[in-house]
C-alpha cells in the first residue's frame, strides 16, 4: 500500500498553483531543514518493485506540474526510479515488509528528491563499475549523469539518497 502526503502547494515556475491529493497513513517523517527546502510531496511505498511504476508516475506528474521539459522530466523519473530500485534491493533487510520514503521538494530554483530506506548503508560510488563482474553498479553512475547533484548519506535508520535538478528559469 502506498501513501502520499501533501504538505504545501507545489508552485511551478510559471506561477500556477497545483493541488496534490492528501492521504497519509505512514509514520515516516518528512525530510527538510535549514537549506530552504520544505517537502511538497511525501510518498511512502512498500519495498516491492511492483510500486516502481507508481513512483515513476508520481515523479512524472510532479515534473509536469513544475513545467519541466520532456527530457528533464524523463531524466528525473529515471534517476528517482533507479534510486528507489536500489533502496528496494539493497536497503530493505526485511524485504517487502520494509518501506521506502520518497520526498519531493522545490525551492523555486531546484527540485530535490530524497529516497530513504532502512538498509545498512552504501559507500559513495566511484566512476568505475562497482561489481567484480562488471554487470552491476551502473545505477549510481546513471543517477549522477542525469541529475545536477547526487549525495548518498548514511543515517541512523539507513541510507538517504538526495537527487537535485536545477529548474529552468
CATH of the domain at 100: 3.30.565.10
CA dihedral 126, 127, 131, 132 (to 10 degrees): -110
Return the C-alpha cell found at 148.
Answer: 545536477
When pLDDT is cut at 50, 70 and 90, the band that residue 122 belongs to is low
**In this model, does residue 35 exceed pLDDT 60?**
no
φ, ψ (nearest 5 deg) of residue 167: -90, 150
pTM value is 0.74
pLDDT in tens, 63-109: 999 989 999 999 999 999 999 999 999 888 888 889 999 999 999 89
Look up the domain containing 95 and give its range.
3-166
Q: How far apart are CA 124 and CA 151, in angstroms?
A: 8
Sheet order of strands, 149-155 included: 3-6, 39-46, 99-106, 110-116, 158-166, 149-155
**In this model, does residue 135 exceed pLDDT 70?**
no
Mean pLDDT, residues 27-53 taken together:
72
**Average pLDDT in the chain:** 77
Q: How far apart are CA 137 and CA 87, in angstroms?
A: 13
Q: Are 102 and 115 in contact (CB under 8 A)?
A: yes
Number of structural domains (the chain) is: 1
When pLDDT is cut at 50, 70 and 90, the band that residue 36 belongs to is low
pLDDT of residue 95: 84
pLDDT of residue 128: 53
Amino acid at each position: 500500500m502506498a501513501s502520499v502526503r501533501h504538505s504545501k502547494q507545489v508552485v511551478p515556475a510559471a506561477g500556477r498553483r497545483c493541488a496534490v491529493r492528501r492521504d497519509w497513513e505512514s509514520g515516516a517523517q518528512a525530510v527538510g531543514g535549514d537549506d530552504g527546502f520544505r517537502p511538497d510531496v511525501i510518498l511512502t511505498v512498500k519495498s516491492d518493485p511492483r510500486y516502481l511504476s507508481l513512483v515513476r508516475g508520481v515523479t512524472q506528474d510532479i515534473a509536469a506540474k513544475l513545467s519541466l521539459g520532456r527530457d528533464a522530466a524523463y531524466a528525473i523519473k529515471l534517476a528517482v526510479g533507479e534510486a528507489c530500485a536500489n533502496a528496494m534491493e539493497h536497503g530493505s533487510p526485511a524485504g517487502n515488509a520494509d518501506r521506502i520514503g520518497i520526498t519531493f521538494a522545490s525551492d523555486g530554483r531546484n527540485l530535490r528528491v530524497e529516497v530513504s530506506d532502512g538498509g545498512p548503508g552504501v559507500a559513495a560510488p566511484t566512476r568505475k563499475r562497482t561489481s567484480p563482474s562488471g554487470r552491476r553498479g551502473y545505477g549510481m553512475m546513471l543517477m549522477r549523469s542525469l541529475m545536477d547533484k547526487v549525495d548518498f548519506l548514511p543515517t541512523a535508520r539507513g541510507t538517504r539518497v538526495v537527487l537535485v535538478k536545477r529548474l529552468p528559469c
